[in-house]
Amino acid sequence: MSGYVLAIDQGTTSSRAILYGPDAQPIAKDQKEISQSFPKPGWVEHDGLEIWESVLSTSRNALKSAGIDAGEVAAIGITNQRETCLVWEKATGKPIHPAIVWQDRRTYGTCEVLRADGFAPLIQEKTGLLLDPYFSATKIAWILDTVDGARRAAEAGELLCGTIDAYLTWKLTGGAVHATDATNASRTSLFNIRENRWDDELLGAFRVPKALLPEVRDCADDFGQAIAAHFGAEIPIRALAGDQQAAVIGQACLKPGMLKSTYGTGCFVVLNTGDQIVRSSNRLLSTIAYRLKGETTYAIEGSIFIAGAAVQWLRDSLKLITEADETGRLAPLADEQEDVYLVPAFTGLGAPHWNSQARGAIFGLTRATGVAELARATLESVCYQTRDLLEAMSSDYPMEVGGATLRVDGGMSGSDWAMQALADCLGSVVERSQSQEATALGVAALAGAQAGVWPDLKSFAENWETKRRFTPDITGDERARRYRKWRAAVASTLSYAATA
């Protein structure tokens, strides 16, 4: 069998398809942006059919570009934006409502009712998650309660639901397989991460019928066949993993204590904790890193809602730049005397604050503040938020922020300026992966190994290489001064939110 593996990476702002050769090197890639809609303040939606069509077209284009027939592809791996969810008709595959995106805050009120009813400790104990609109359960319930006849159709067995990986698997297999993997299931608030099952008590609390949910399998498993109608020949689907967990694999963070951060629309720092569920006292998440051959590896995760999305804000809303990578060229031009801090709480603040009501703010503006200063503040905001997460992690797990080595990937990791700023902010070594597409590479590694055409993950990890290392280049006093001002800016933002 050939060693070609097709990785489908369905993200918040685009869908990618990357075809890897037998040597695990990418040989073709296609990417297509997908639209987001914002029907009301705090609401974020996708068109589910647009997502499906973007995945289909990018996958076909990658195969065509490489000159590879579908019959030569040994396996497909799918990685995805995690908490975004859909409810669709079993008979047609048509979503009954737009996908509700992980950034969406519309179910804040529902979460507050559940909190008042005392469910928050139960949810955290069983799922490792906080009670927050970020996760899928309240989104699914909202769709069932809002779309006319949806609950009745669900009870009649006419509907299915799931995260994006489950929907894509269902569509690719022509409706033959309704399944997800343990990592995506662990982000719904419905999955017991210790017992590795959908939890009846949680399903009752969130009012989500169990019959709608997909079967939960290992990350590397048999997920059926993509039917020949899509690509000209059947292709086995052999891996699913949520994007951040796939990046853990792609960054070869397979030992307890290893740490990675992915910089995409948001930023997600994940610390491997092995077979131990580490409970955070700092509002971080306990989650599943991966499940292979029935054995579960856990992690602590910190989620930043806005990273690359802040750069998109400069480009799309303020029209200050035309291309995202301009920020890396503008930031070094900023006046050193201009001490500008951006708190990008456009959809609230994630870990360790978890404040849904916070909104963005800029501090330190003067008449001399210009585009370069705003670009610098935008990139630095991601660095400061990363440090917030690592400071919290160091209180929950035996590690020191300055002694940790952070492996990075994602679009923003390609900026030398931003990664040097990150090393300066943390006071620790930052290692940039050979592949910025660690998410796609990770799920490809899972699929290739499961199909028997790539080495096992231990060999994959042994061959992982750093592309570039960044070491701190500012004084400890300056690092401390900057971080104090950042924390003051966040405190002011939270204080303002409290007056709403």
Q: Do the beta carbons of residue 372 and residue 330 sit within 8 Å? A: yes
Phi, psi of 419 (to 5 degrees): -75, -30
pLDDT in tens, 112-132: 999 999 999 999 999 999 999
Secondary structure element (H or E) that encloses residue 327, with its range: helix 326-330
Dig out the tokens for 22 from the structure.
């037998």
What confidence tier does 360 reach under pLDDT thresholds 50, 70, 90?
Answer: very high
Class of domain 4-243 as given by CATH? alpha beta
Determine the CATH number of domain 251-433+465-500: 3.30.420.40
Work out the average pLDDT over 296-311.
90
492 pLDDT exceeds 90? yes
Name 352's Cβ contacts closer than 8 Å, sequence gap at least 6.
282, 283, 284, 302, 388, 389, 392
pLDDT in tens, 309-355: 899 999 999 999 998 889 989 999 999 899 999 999 988 888 888 88
Q: Do domains 4-243 and 251-433+465-500 have the same CATH topology?
A: yes
Q: In the prediction, which pLDDT does 351 show?
A: 80
Residue extents of the structural domains in the chain: 4-243, 251-433+465-500
Nearest to 14 by CA among 2, 1, 31, 38: 31
Q: In the prediction, which pLDDT does 464 show?
A: 86
Task: Tell me which of 42 and 218 has the higher pLDDT.
Answer: 218
Hey, what long-range contacts does 463-467 have (CB within 8 A, 24 or more apart)?
464/251, 464/252, 464/433, 464/434, 465/434, 466/431, 466/432, 466/433, 466/434, 467/432, 467/433, 467/434
Q: What is the DSSP letter of 131?
A: S
Q: In the prediction, which pLDDT does 1 show?
A: 56
What confidence tier does 500 reach under pLDDT thresholds 50, 70, 90?
Answer: low
What confidence tier does 402 reach under pLDDT thresholds 50, 70, 90?
Answer: low
Cβ-count burial 461-495 (b if 16+ within 10 Å, e if not): beebeeeeebebeeeeeebeebbebbeebbeebbe
Q: In the prediction, which pLDDT does 254 show?
A: 93
6 pLDDT exceeds 70? yes
Report the SS3 class of residue 80.
strand
